[in-house]
Amino acid sequence: MSILKVRNVFQGRILRVNVETVRLPNGHVSDLEIIHHPGGAAVVAIDAARRVCLLRQYRHAVAGWVWELPAGKLEPQEPAQTTARRELIEEAGQSAHSWRSLGTYVSSPGVFTEIVHLYLAQELDSVKMALEEGELLEVHWIDFQDACARAEEGEINDGKTVVGLLRARRALSSAPVAGDPDRSAPDVPMGSA
């Protein structure tokens, strides 16, 4: 695919929206509305009792409350695991000593450039939360298998959360994780992101 022309129609604090004229691999020329996003990271944090941290967060875009993993957007030049560690502290009041990549997730590839990096975090310690002003959420610790069942049944319907939970279940069963860039790698040490 080649980009022939780009027209910026909106530049916000986080998002940039372009109309991009592209030549597709089959030769067809098309105008695509593309939303550029810096990407994000989400954390499947599991405690010693095999409970997972889920946030019940108010989301105006869907006019209600959504079950989600602790997550946030990448800052410029920030490694994804650094984002994951920061968000786990800010939103859940937890730090972790054991980290494992669960690969990436693309949220809506037809229009959105966002890539979400997923992590499994274990060996947790409580720390002080630091919510941002605009965040409205409740922290819940739910039995991990119950959370996975809720994801499979559709009660949990946030994409990154469903994918993160199911990949974590597979990782915890010692099976290779689809989408993991290095399936044979051990846990990622705390300071190596």
pLDDT band at 17 (very low <50, low <70, confident <90, very high): very high
d(CA 135, CA 191): 27
Q: Is residue 8 scored above 70 in pLDDT?
A: yes
**H-state helical runs in the chain:** 80-87, 144-153, 159-172
Reported as a single tens digit per residue, the pLDDT across 87-135 is 999 999 999 999 999 999 999 999 999 999 999 999 999 999 988 888 8
Q: pTM above the 0.85 mark?
A: yes
Radius of gyration, CA atoms only, the chain: 18
* Residue 21: C-alpha distances to residues 90, 109, 119, 138 (Å): 40, 16, 35, 43
pLDDT band at 1 (very low <50, low <70, confident <90, very high): confident
pLDDT band at 174 (very low <50, low <70, confident <90, very high): confident
User: Helix axis angle, 144-153 relative to 159-172, nearest 10°?
Assistant: 130
One-letter identity of residue 121: A
Write out the catalytic residue numbers.
Answer: 133
- Structural domains in the chain plus CATH codes: 2-36 (no CATH), 40-105+116-175 (3.90.79.10)
